[in-house]
Amino acid sequence: MANSVNLHSAGHRYGAVCAPHFATVEAGRSILAEGGNALEAMLAMAASIAAVYPHMNHLGGDGFWLIREPSGRVRAIMAAGPAALAAKPELYRDYEIMPVRGPLAALTVPGAVGGWMLALEAAQARGGRLPLKVLLTPAIVQARNGYTVTRSQARLTEEQFTGLKDVPGFAAHFLVDGKVPHVGAVLKQEAFAATLEHLTHAGLEDFYRGDVGREMAADLERIHSPLARADLERYRAALADPLRVTLPWGTLFNTDAPTQGAVSLMILALFARLGAREAESFDHIHGLVEATKRALRMRDRLITDPNYLAHSLDRVLEERYLAGEAMKIDRRKAAAWPLSPNAGDTIWMGAADTSGLVVSYIQSLYWEFGSGCVLPGTGVLMQNRGASFSLQPGALNFLTPGRLPFHTLNPALAVLKDGRVMAYGCMGGDGQPQTQAAVFTRYVDFRQTLPEAVDRPRWVLGRTWGAPRTALRLESRFDGQLIDALAAAGHDIDILSEPYSDVMGHAGAVVLHPNGSCEGAHDPRADGGAAGV
């Protein structure tokens, strides 16, 4: 059994977990040590990460699961909340674009707990016997007794202070005497702890159709959010079949619309056709960047609420479509890149056990701290996922009551031909599929170790928050000759000063090996790690 949390953890004979915060890693490891399965460990981590990493996620957000069952079947849990019935375009007539902070930004149903409900049922169907009280207790203790403010929470609070400080509930929960908390400060989420405690007795459904739902609705009405109790009561998360694509390495899975899972699969499918032979070479980095451009162009033309899709996203993963897109990639020159960015912060976590159960999970508020609105009765921090809607008639994701917003979230999972099962993912808006591709190709195609694949220098294509222009951003550890070759090919290069930059997101992976052992690794750019039993 592991005695401490590290960035990499291998050789475990029962299970392994990884997460972006060390306290959450320990919560998941402790559930495995209690005899819990990977789904139970992930449920404990999903609650814990909201308690200790609230700038990245909370119960007021959404979540998506990929679950590989011991039988080999892969299923998805789609826990995205739709726009409120009262969220009509005329409500936003004074805005040119959707507001990103405050009560009018809190317009979509929090879907994450609905996903927890389905995950708990799945855990119990696979032999899970731990009561909800045991699964939520680590988070309850962390929220009630206090958690330590991390570097990333302090930095992001400082950067977004002006837009958040006056949002209802924010200062009382995430500032100290009206000021940004320093790294190492201890903050408590006592109302949130009480909500989790209540759910251990009343059941998770109470979040939508019981006392918690009633309290949330009353607070939302008080701050003039369009989200109402009827929106909460009618919400249900859904089980679904994931998207998949078969490549030389094995079968890769990701979530369907309204997520950008098709983007992540398409990048790797295009790259597989380019014939790169060496890790960190021009062919490797240029090929993935150019594949990203093709995939993001597809996304911005097609992906929306599945009820509004022009056709199934399976079509963009068919051989004919992929072959045509691959032919449009110039293997020596960069294509123009004028597209606007989709920002986002979230968390990804993984868990596996040696029964064959492997879980890839992502939970999010969209932007850091979401809408910023904290509901005082429950301590729930509400997302701003509705900011991805458009107020322009005819737009692909036009605001419509009851419509699902577009999601950058997408958890990834691969069943490899050699018998390994890999769950992997990252936070970071448009950077998510790019980092997934970097980690996957390094580990699977170029046979780097799992911790090396996560650690190696990364890139992100697109304009990040506060940056004046769109560029290909590279961490400073890349080889100078490679940087020169990319610039000569026409890539607009920005070299970041940090060798390990938060701009690249926080990545992680867990692997179930054919011999039954489990391995996990998480990002040195984050505050977490991996552990197992």
Give the whole-angstrom CA distance, residue 409 versus residue 390: 18
Give the whole-angstrom CA distance, residue 506 versus residue 53: 13
Give the whole-angstrom CA distance, residue 286 versus residue 284: 6
Give the whole-angstrom CA distance, residue 106 versus residue 54: 16
Active-site choice (346, 354, 408, 435):
346
At 351, list the tokens: 């868990």
Beta bridge partners of residue 21, listed in sequence order: 527
Give the whole-angstrom CA distance, residue 461 versus residue 268: 16
Asked if 425 and 516 touch (Cβ cutoff 8 Å), the reply is no
Amino acid making up residue 513: H
The residues near 88 (Cβ < 8 Å, ≥ 6 apart) are 399, 401
| Pairing mode of beta strands 472-474, 493-495 | parallel
CA 289 to chain centre: 21
Collapse the DSSP code of 19 into the 3-class scheme (helix H, G, I; strand E, B; otherwise coil) and give the result. strand
Question: What secondary structure does DSSP assign to 340-376, as a single string?
Answer: PP---EEEEEEEEETTS-EEEEEEEEESTTTT--EET
DSSP secondary structure letter of residue 441: I
At 505, list the tokens: 């997101």
- Tell me if residue 346 is catalytic: yes
The residues near 56 (Cβ < 8 Å, ≥ 6 apart) are 20, 49, 152, 345, 346, 347, 364, 365, 368, 427
For residue 116, how many C-alpha atoms fall within 13 Å in the half-sphere facing its CB?
30
DSSP secondary structure letter of residue 444: I
At 372, list the tokens: 């910023």
From the number of C-beta atoms within 10 Å of its C-beta (0-12, 13-18, 19+), residue 166 rates as: exposed
* First vs last C-alpha separation in the chain: 4
Spell out where 129-280 has E strands: 147-148, 186-187, 238-240, 243-247, 250-254
Give the whole-angstrom CA distance, residue 16 versus residue 37: 10
Q: Which residues are catalytic?
A: 346
